[in-house]
A and B are shown apart, each in its own frame.
Chain A
Amino acid sequence: MHELSLALEVCRLAEEVLEREGGVAIRGLGVEVGDDAGIEVANFRFCLDALLTEPPLTGARAEILAARGDSLRLAYVEVDDGRSDD
């Protein structure tokens, strides 16, 4: 049940990274979830996917990285800096 609170905090942290990096949108993020973190992974993924529908997270891809112990970390954020590739 607390997976929604944790997913909200993941999104807040990712938005902090976006602001710090001066980007315009988040394209993806990875969350490390330990096997003893007290998190139901399918439910956590459902909550994350539900939250990745609003700017600046619209359409971002969430990756769950399996880990050992009670680890729960935002591992990485893919930041779109809004500049053209060429």
Chain B
Amino acid sequence: MAVRTIEVRERVMARNDAFAAEVRRRLSDAEITAFNLVSSPGSGKTLLLERTMAALGEELGIAVVTGDVQTQNDADRLARHTTRLVQAVVTGGACHLDASQIATALEAIDLDQTHLLFIENVGNLVCPASWDLGEAAKIVVFSVTEGEDKPLKYPKMFQQARYAVLNKVDLLPHLDFDVDLAMDNARAINPGLRFFLTSARSCEGLDAWYRFLREQVRAVVRQ
């Protein structure tokens, strides 16, 4: 037999990144800001989105793509706040969303009526860090029940994120969690990280979060 060695040097993520570029182009054309919410399971992403949809869903034309390994429970929870804009992706075992799934999900969303898109990624602080979904930025959500050293344990996710939501702050009186230490740890990984301290349960800190979202949408629409 004749075996030839073919030099390839092709990036393994090239196909995903081509889909991500296509998603980014479609979102840009439609003047939509997209955030990729990443976190470990149970950080409170879905409740944060429920509050956000209830407060700003109509005003900002919010659409959501949810990713879960199984069930569309998160999409069902969010759909109570809107009649049209929630797309569920069931990954069937995969630990992350990829950009081709977002490209497909966009087909079912009325982009003309949307200004803000949330992608609620699979709860996992490792794998989703490696996949560009065409978002404007990743927002890492972690909660005060998780430990101050989470950013040190999962540095790639905190490097990749531009914003961090520290959630469940209503529980602080019952915990030994050191907020300053957690933020210092995160900024040791990513000095530019902008923080929001929230409780999706008690609504503490959500005003600043809503202000931020309004600013982001206005900035894109104004361009």
The answer, yes or no, to whether A57 is at the interface (CB within 8 Å) is no
How many residues from B make CB contacts under 8 Å with A?
26
Contact B4 A81 (CB under 8 A): yes
**C-alpha gap A11/B16 in the complex (Å):** 15
Q: Given A5-B96, A78-B3, verify A13-B130 contact (CB < 8 Å).
A: no
Residues from chain A with a CB closer than 8 A to the CB of B7 are: 75-76
Tally A-B pairs: CB < 8 A. Answer: 85
The answer, yes or no, to whether A52 is at the interface (CB within 8 Å) is no
B residues 124-165 touching A (CB-CB < 8 Å): 124, 126-127, 129-131, 156
Contact B6 A2 (CB under 8 A): no
Q: Given A1-B126, A5-B98, verify A73-B10 contact (CB < 8 Å).
A: yes
**C-alpha gap A21/B124 in the complex (Å):** 39
Contact A78 B1 (CB under 8 A): no
Q: Given A5-B96, A38-B129, verify A82-B1 contact (CB < 8 Å).
A: yes
The answer, yes or no, to whether B95 is at the interface (CB within 8 Å) is yes
**Among A13, A81, A84, contact of B8 (Cβ-Cβ < 8 Å):** A13
Contact B3 A27 (CB under 8 A): yes
**C-alpha gap A41/B199 in the complex (Å):** 38
The answer, yes or no, to whether B211 is at the interface (CB within 8 Å) is no
Residues from chain A with a CB closer than 8 A to the CB of B13 are: 9, 72
A residues 8-33 touching B (CB-CB < 8 Å): 9-10, 12-13, 17, 21, 23, 27, 31-32
**C-alpha gap A82/B156 in the complex (Å):** 44
> Residue on B with the closest CB to A18?
B6
B residues 13-69 touching A (CB-CB < 8 Å): 13, 15-16
Contact A76 B126 (CB under 8 A): no
**C-alpha gap A7/B216 in the complex (Å):** 37
A27 CB to nearest chain B CB (Å):
5
A34 CB to nearest chain B CB (Å):
11
**C-alpha gap A82/B4 in the complex (Å):** 11
Residues from chain B with a CB closer than 8 A to the CB of A37 are: 130
Contact B130 A80 (CB under 8 A): no
Contact A1 B3 (CB under 8 A): no
Contact A13 B12 (CB under 8 A): yes
Contact B95 A2 (CB under 8 A): yes
Q: Given A2-B96, A72-B12, A73-B9, verify A83-B156 contact (CB < 8 Å).
A: no
Q: Given A2-B127, A38-B126, A38-B130, verify A80-B12 contact (CB < 8 Å).
A: no
Q: What would 5 A/B residue contacts be, using CB atoms closer than 8 Å?
A: A9-B13, A73-B9, A74-B9, A79-B5, A83-B1
Interface residues of A (CB under 8 A from B): 1-2, 5-6, 9-10, 12-13, 17, 21, 23, 27, 31-32, 37-38, 72-85
